[in-house]
Amino acid sequence: MKIAISFISGVIVCSMILFGVKPVLPALAETADTVDESENVTQSLSDLISDIERIYREALTTPFIEAEKQIYDEDIAAFYRTLMEKTGLTDPGIPGQTQ
């Protein structure tokens, strides 16, 4: 008999805990906007990818461009410039880069 009473009281206590916790859990708020957020997220990701590409390209080329400024021998500077043009490291699309 004690086992049955313990079992029933345990079930009652557990159900009270479950129903007592539900109001305390945070509820999700609905927004009034019915705008498709997936399109907005896709747009921001595509903008971010272009920024990452620009940042990567600038980080790749900037050390070589700065090194070119330190070459004072005209023959070596001409060779270095030709090498940079052949490898594509002198992309004119990067802002702030000298041609």
pLDDT given for residue 96 in this prediction: 47
The one-letter code for the residue type at 5 is: I
The tens digit of pLDDT for each residue in 41-63 reads 556 666 667 677 888 888 888 88
Question: pTM for the complete prediction?
Answer: 0.42
State how far the alpha carbon of 84 is from the alpha carbons of 55, 68, 81, 88, 95, in Å: 19, 9, 5, 6, 17
- Interatomic CA distance for residues 52 and 65, integer angstroms: 20
- Distance separating alpha carbons of residues 68 and 80, to the nearest angstrom: 7
